Structure 1
Amino acid sequence: MRFVLKQKFWSLGDDFVIRDDREIDRFIVDGRVFSFGDKLSIRDMAGNEVAFISQRLLSWGPKYEIHRPGQGVAEIAKEHFTFFHCKFNVDGPGDDDFEAKGDFFDHEYEIQRGGAVAAQVSKRWFSFTDSYGIEIADGEDPVLLLATAVVIDLVCHDAKKH
């Protein structure tokens, strides 16, 4: 399934919507304005929280946790000491461990599990530059992978600001 995410949606905690490939609203992301570290809530269209993203403060490099009701906690960390490329590791609950590799600043990367592509993120599908898509493989957890793409976008755009 394909989803559409907007770039640069982090302006004073404004909400934004994640849509599917038929332009149907699927999730709302709500960034908290006045908090220590980044905190975001992902809700379905009925208003139920399906994931909560929080930045882990006082850590070496950017680290985030994805909390999901009835699921374990997934941790996303940008790998250090990669000289010619950037890489993110997702340590999920159980077997939900992923690795994201590619060009994160231009939104052209893959999220892999054990070498198999679980999701592909790309701007190529869109003619306008403020949106990008994420295609999630069958059988994969869309909420976890969408939350991962949101964290990667947040970390990479934060790095561009500095």
Structure 2
Amino acid sequence: MRFLVRERLLGFGDDYWIEDDRGNKAFLVDGKAMRLRETFELKDTQGQVLIDIRQKMFTLRDTMVIEREGEQLARIRRKRLSLLRNHYRVSLVDGTELDVSGKILDREFAIEYDGELLAVISRRFLHVRETYGVDVVREDADPALLIAIAVCVIQLAEKDRDGD
């Protein structure tokens, strides 16, 4: 299952649609401007909030938190002892850990669980600038969660690059 994300340089406060591989609207990213911390919502086509994403405040390392229905689902941060700056760990509340690695800023990376590929994020086959694909590899994977993880990791990598 492939989704197309057309970024607006990922400025929070911007809203944009994520489309499926047939060009149908699948998710709306609703950026929340004028907040102390960066936050946005991932909504379905009817406007129902599927996932809330926010920056965790007052942490030593930049951290993003993903919530579903008010309950924390995952925490994302750069790996502590990674020699590569483009390696992130996603800690799910059930204790599961996902690894995200690759060229995050180039939109060429993968999300894995215990060595098994869950999703590939890539611009490789797309010709439209500021667009990348999220290819969900596993049938039983949660596309909304994987898209949220991809957007969070990109935001963290861009903050890290800019030195904020």
Same fold (TM over 0.5): yes
CA distance in 2, matches of 1:86, 1:12: 21
Give the letter aligned to residue 26 of structure 1. Answer: A
2:38 maps to: 38
1:64-113 superposed Cα distances (whole Å, 9 cap, x missing partner)? 11001286521111113422342111111326531101111111111001
1:24 is matched with: 24
- Mapped partners of 1:136, 1:98: distance in 2: 14
Q: CA deviation at 1:125?
A: 1.8
Cα distance, 1:36 vs structure 2: 1.4
Q: Is the 8 A contact 1:9 1:16 kept in 2?
A: no
1:159 Cα deviation (Å)? 3.2
- Aligned match of 1:99: 99
Q: Which moved more, 1:151-160 or 1:38-47?
A: 151-160
Instruction: Report if the CA contact (8 A) 2:12-2:40 is conserved.
Output: no
Alpha-carbon separation, structure 2, partners of 1:37 and 1:27: 22
What is the aligned length?
A: 162
- Identify the residue that residue 128 of structure 1 maps to in structure 2: 128
Q: CA RMSD in A?
A: 1.8
Structure 2 equivalent of residue 155 of structure 1: 156
Q: Deviations over 1:5-39 (max 9, x none)?
A: 12344335010111111111011111111111111
Unaligned runs of 5+ in 1: none
Percent identity between matched residues is 25
Instruction: Answer yes or no: is the 8 Å Cα contact 1:85–1:102 preserved in 2.
Output: no
| Cα deviation, residue 130, structure 1 | 1.1
- Which ranges in structure 2 are unaligned for 5 or more consecutive residues? none
Equivalent residue for 1:77?
77
1:140 aligns with 2:135: no
Paired with 1:43 and 1:101, the residues of 2 have a C-alpha distance of: 26
| Corresponding position of 2:3 | 3
1:90 — aligned with what? Answer: 90
Q: How far is 1:139 from its partner? A: 1.1
AA matched with 1:46: Q
Q: Distance in 2 between matches of 1:82 and 1:8?
A: 29
SS at match of 1:74: strand
TM-score relative to the length of structure 1: 0.91
